[in-house]
Structure 1
Amino acid sequence: GWALQLSLLTPYIQMLGLPHGAASFIWLCGPVSGLLVQPLAGYFSDRCKSRFGRRRPFIMSGACLVAAAVILIGFAADIGHSAGDDMTKKTKPRAVVVFVVGFWILDVANNMLQGPCRAFLADLSAGDENKMTHAMSFFAFFMGIGNVLGYAAGSYNNLHRLLPFTRTDACEIFCANLKTCFLIHICLLMCLTITALSIVKEPLVNVVDDERKGGSLMVFVELFGALKNLSKPMWILMLVTCLNWIAWFPFLLYDTDWMGREVYGGKVNQSVYDMG
């Protein structure tokens, strides 16, 4: 899902009529949701007393939100058309609104899902450093496989033939391929989530009641308060990481768009560009 989002959604939102420069504002949700959602998801999952476990409710909720979000994104053009968008005009405002709502839900859901997944691995490792190292290695390995499959699926122009109903009056080949990718993604995501949460037993952990004033807001106080005690090497590491992401995000957001425009000379809504 992450690879599909990075590779296909910037060209897609431009096809719906959003100006090229405005696309970056939509992507602000990623850093913002990462800053806010992951600490909160971690805080509440650590203190969750559900009979299903601490992590399962958040992982399942995140997966369901991801599925709902990609449905909104993939069918944004169709929903906008049904709501009254004029397909002869360049900008489809209703479709853009549906897309933006789905996109922000997707970023929030991704962060809501990833944090508890990593915490679940830590719980299963039970403090064993060797197990934790192997768990995180496999986690990163399968993320890499997912990225390869996501980018590969997005590059195949005839994927929509697997699900012919995805191509409509409001949704041409590029859009239909996107919908097909997302529908396949939903099936894989839900199957894997249900299988993993059903088979893997979550270890029992004593949940400590948090009686501090401020509740969930204290997690941010602690995060920023911890900065005062960081050593110089940690500050350097954080600075390098910050600069790395400043450089990495523009590449992630615009590499597909740049290739289509500058390398292949395409333009949005022209057949060569839309075919990838």
Structure 2
Amino acid sequence: MDTKQPGLNFWQIWNVSFGFLGVQFGFALQNANVSRILSDLGADLHSLSLFWLVAPIMGLIIQPIVGAASDRTWNRLGRRRPYILAGAIAAAIGMVLMPNAPLFVALMTPMIFGAIMLALMDASFNICFQPFRSLVSDMVPPRQRNIGYSVQSLLINIGAVIGSILPFLLTNVIGLENTAQLGEVAPSVMWAFYIGATVLLGSVIWTVVRTKEYAPKEYNYYKDVADEPMPDTKQSMGQRFKGFLKLVVNMPTTMKQLAVVQFFSWFSLYIMWVYTTPAITQHIWNVDKKWFDPDYLSTLAVIPQEIVLAKGAAGDWVGILFAAYSVFAAVFSVFLARLADKFGRKLVYSLSLLAGGLGYVSFLIFQDLTPTNVDLLITEVTVPLGAVKLLLPMVGIGIAWAAILAMPYAMLAGALPPQKTGVYMGIFNFTVAVPQIVAGLFSGLILSAVFDNEAKYIIVVAGVSMIAGALAVFFVKEPDQPVTVHE
């Protein structure tokens, strides 16, 4: 049991993770709207998954590099905070530029410019993500690890709720236009990205200002690490790469076992983020798959207004659904630490993934085209009844998302050597990036070759994968048992 490192009060734990609210705000805007933006700019269903490969590739490259660098960094801002701040600034720039892709047509096609801005945003988000994970591990003592990562999950989901629903609010409350012809971006989406950039930067600055990291001697004392000279920063690239490969080969057993769970979980999430918009548009709004084919669209002088309106309404409703699963995740996050303390992390983690998998599979049974008036308190909208029924699967998906954000990191943190936490958290991101790369390479092929571009069926594939992840949890051996702390 750790006794050296002082415990943190609730607001100290809150401040450590508060910047993640803004980072996830931006990430949620990206997840809910990038497929919509790229489709409007000219991408077909098959190529959508390939464009989205930018995200995991950026994570695969950047997070280990940033993790290793932050392990070696001690300056006036601290150890992790310099990278968090730099990533937030770059992400904000990308968020402002991406929806303005049509303005840069003189330099390159809008779709290519949009893809480049997606790469910039993802690279920047990854620069933020990894140090934030390590910051919690650095600052929160092991006995508070469950609550620390649960608060982080709560803040992530608060940001995700607001980010997901923002374009809908701007359309239905403020009155901004939510439709766009081919080669354009809807005004509601543009302004959502501007607001997201502001929130991201502001919340990260809050964490940077309100959190004081431990000095090297304090950190080493609290983590039982012998005072050592800083690593040789003049090593050749070959030496560094050799050392990195050694770390990968010798990664803790718990990390290897969690990697299997992560593969099935993130394979599912990638499919959801890429294909929910076309799946909902086709399955719930009854828009034929031909309206997602750029070759067919190029033969038309103008896209029929009813198709434009249906795509806009479906895109907005995807924001509502993503906000809904984030709300359910945020609520579940409040209870997650207590449940993990009482029943064990593995059981809670496994049942959470099972709930998510069943949620994905159930997408098939909720088609109902009956127009229904929905009172969302802030506004009323008319949508197909099937769209409303899809809120039910979001409960299970939200439970799974909350667990994915917290449980693997809580289980892993106790298995990592403190002096290598940053680099190992970066290496652990391989288990997030690789399954997304696999999904990006093959999900589009599966969709076109097996399901004839009927996007609802690829969502079912995501459900089967998530259920496999739930089973894989039981093969993970934790290095220690959590210490229960009652506030």
2:122 is the counterpart of 1:112: no
2:267 is the counterpart of 1:246: yes
**Equivalent position to 2:285, from 264, 269, 275:** 264
- With over 3 angstroms needed to count, the CA separation of the structure-2 counterparts of 1:196 and 1:9, relative to structure 1, is same
**Equivalent position to 2:202, from 161, 181, 191:** 191
1:157 positional shift? 5.5
Q: How many angstroms apart in 2 are the aligned matches of 1:140 and 1:271?
A: 35
Matched with 2:442 is none
Q: How many angstroms apart in 2 are the aligned matches of 1:170 and 1:47?
A: 48
Q: How many angstroms apart in 2 are the aligned matches of 1:221 and 1:235?
A: 15
2:190 is the counterpart of 1:179: yes
**Kept in 1: contact 2:167–2:189 (CA 8 A):** yes
1:152 positional shift? 1.7
- 3-state DSSP class of the match of 2:109? helix
Structure 1 residue identity aligned to 2:205: I
2:224 is the counterpart of 1:209: no
1:170 positional shift? 9.3
Matched with 1:20 is 45
- With over 3 angstroms needed to count, the CA separation of the structure-2 counterparts of 1:66 and 1:134, relative to structure 1, is same
TM-score by length of 2: 0.48
TM-score by length of 1: 0.82
Q: How many angstroms apart in 2 are the aligned matches of 1:167 and 1:195?
A: 35
Structure 1 residue identity aligned to 2:88: A
Structure 1 residue identity aligned to 2:48: A
**Equivalent position to 2:78, from 49, 53, 66:** 53
Structure 2 residue identity aligned to 1:273: K
1:79 positional shift? 2.8
- What is the root-mean-square deviation of aligned Cα atoms in Å? 3.0
1:77 positional shift? 2.2
Matched with 1:135 is 148
2:61 is the counterpart of 1:36: yes
Q: How many angstroms apart in 2 are the aligned matches of 1:10 and 1:264?
A: 17
Between 217-226 and 146-155, the greater mean CA deviation after superposition: 217-226
Structure 2 residue identity aligned to 1:134: I
Task: Indicate the percent of aligned positions where both proteins have the same amino acid.
Answer: 23
2:158 is the counterpart of 1:158: no
Matched with 1:221 is 245
**Kept in 1: contact 2:110–2:183 (CA 8 A):** no
1:122 positional shift? 2.2
Between 176-185 and 28-37, the greater mean CA deviation after superposition: 28-37
String of CA shifts for 1:233-274, please: whole Å, max 9, x gaps.
Answer: 765543232123223311221112210133213346622212
Q: How many angstroms apart in 1 are the aligned matches of 2:147 and 2:243?
A: 28
2:160 is the counterpart of 1:147: yes
Q: Mind listing any 5+ residue stretches in structure 2 that lack a counterpart?
A: 1-25, 218-227, 293-302, 316-487
1:195 positional shift? 2.2
Q: Mind listing any 5+ residue stretches in structure 1 that lack a counterpart?
A: 85-92
- With over 3 angstroms needed to count, the CA separation of the structure-2 counterparts of 1:171 and 1:136, relative to structure 1, is same
Structure 1 residue identity aligned to 2:56: P
Structure 1 residue identity aligned to 2:80: R
- With over 3 angstroms needed to count, the CA separation of the structure-2 counterparts of 1:37 and 1:18, relative to structure 1, is same
Q: How many angstroms apart in 2 are the aligned matches of 1:248 and 1:168?
A: 27
- 3-state DSSP class of the match of 1:5? helix
Q: Which has the larger radius of gyration?
A: 2
- With over 3 angstroms needed to count, the CA separation of the structure-2 counterparts of 1:243 and 1:225, relative to structure 1, is same
